[in-house]
């Protein structure tokens, strides 16, 4: 049995895909990268939501009418302690003053780049992108580079606002479908349809599809080198499935995230939220590592050796002590 596993099972490409994904995840120090990204994300989360609320409110109506929908989604996605913090802070920021949106806009413009900058560097590390050492830039070029980076980050936030707008419009579509099913049941009595079950299944499928497409777009955009679509779609939908699985386990109290921090009150809620962001980052990194390994085993890079060495490793080899 052991020789069969050693000679047949372990060398197989599906098993190698799983094993190498875990090895790359450990080699790239994703735990440390997730901690840094969670820190940046925690401070940028609420400014991002303020600007998204302003944009979506401008497109669909008053932002006050959108907050209940956001809170319903947050309640289904976040642990209870983290949701309480999210609800309190979001309501306070939204009702504090008219200038909260303006303040959030400028906070976002200067803080969101930290999140997406850290995420971009992490993804480049996963894909073994080695940046060449550049010549010192002039002051004007440095300022333009900073503005460009922050504009890209802000563009990603605008994309998030567009996605939220589409999700809110999708609720209207589901309401129409539910009414059509009710009319169908009233007209054809010998066929009974459970519209609640049908709608929930359709919503689940649409959520999975949209989340997979969003992750796939991030996997395509974030790396600094060209990545083929065929290399990233399996990892993107695996990431979406893991996201939804974690959300289901937490929302149904199958697992308790940060239950030991509840005695700390509001501070404990912040710790739980940061822990939740950390888990989300690890799922994203795991999907990125899966895509990297998949591209070398099955995708466009299967004839190309994977470069696991960092630039510092090559520097040490060229300059032995």
Q: Calculate Rg over the CA atoms of the chain.
A: 23
Cα–Cα distance, 292 to 20 (Å, whole number)? 10
Read off the tokens for 216.
């796939």
- The single-letter DSSP state of residue 302 is T
- What are the counts of helices (DSSP H) followed by strands (DSSP E) for the chain? 11, 0
Residue-wise pLDDT tens for the chain (321 aa)? 577 676 676 778 888 999 999 999 999 999 999 998 888 888 777 766 666 666 666 665 555 666 777 777 777 777 777 778 778 877 776 665 444 555 656 666 666 667 777 888 899 999 998 765 555 567 777 777 767 766 666 666 666 656 655 665 666 666 666 677 666 666 655 555 555 566 677 778 888 888 888 889 889 988 888 899 999 999 999 999 998 888 888 776 656 666 666 666 667 777 888 888 899 899 999 999 999 999 999 988 887 765 554 443 433 333 333
Q: Is the dihedral of CA 124, 125, 129, 131 positive or negative?
A: positive
Total-model pTM: 0.76
Cα–Cα distance, 230 to 107 (Å, whole number)? 37
Residue-wise DSSP of 179-206:
HHHHHHHHH-TTS---HHHHHHHHHHHH
With 0-12 / 13-18 / 19 or more C-beta atoms within 10 angstroms meaning exposed / middle / buried, residue 303 is: exposed
Cα–Cα distance, 7 to 93 (Å, whole number)? 60
């Amino acid at each position: 049995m052991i020789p069969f596993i050693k000679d047949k099972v372990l060398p197989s490409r599906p098993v190698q895909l799983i094993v190498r994904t875990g090895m790359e995840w450990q080699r790239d120090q994703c735990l440390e990268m997730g901690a840094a990204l969670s820190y940046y994300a925690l401070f940028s989360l609420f400014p991002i939501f303020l600007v998204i609320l302003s944009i979506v409110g401008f497109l669909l109506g008053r932002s006050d009418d959108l907050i209940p929908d956001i809170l319903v989604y947050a309640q289904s996605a976040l642990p209870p302690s983290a949701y309480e913090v999210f609800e309190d802070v979001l309501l306070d920021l939204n009702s504090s003053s008219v200038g909260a949106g303006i303040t959030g806009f400028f906070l976002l413009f200067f803080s969101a780049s930290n999140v997406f900058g850290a995420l971009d560097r992490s993804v480049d590390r996963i894909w073994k992108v080695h940046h060449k050492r550049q010549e010192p830039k002039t002051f004007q070029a440095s300022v333009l580079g900073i503005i460009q980076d922050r504009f890209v980050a802000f563009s990603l936030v605008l994309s998030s606002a567009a996605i939220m707008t589409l999700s809110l419009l999708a609720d209207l579509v589901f309401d129409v479908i539910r009414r059509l099913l009710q009319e169908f049941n009233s007209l054809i009595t010998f066929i009974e349809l459970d519209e609640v079950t049908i709608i929930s299944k359709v919503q689940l499928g649409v959520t999975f599809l949209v989340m997979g497409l969003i992750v796939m777009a991030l996997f395509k955009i974030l790396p600094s080198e060209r990545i083929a679509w065929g290399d990233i779609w399996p990892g993107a939908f695996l990431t979406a499935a893991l996201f939804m699985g974690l959300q289901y386990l937490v929302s149904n109290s199958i697992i308790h995230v940060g239950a030991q921090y509840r005695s700390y009150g509001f501070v404990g809620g912040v710790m739980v939220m940061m822990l939740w962001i950390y888990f989300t980052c690890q799922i994203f990194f795991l999907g990125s590592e899966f895509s990297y390994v998949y591209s070398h085993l099955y995708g466009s890079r299967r004839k190309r050796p994977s470069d696991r060495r960092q630039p510092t490793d090559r520097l040490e080899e060229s300059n032995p002590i």
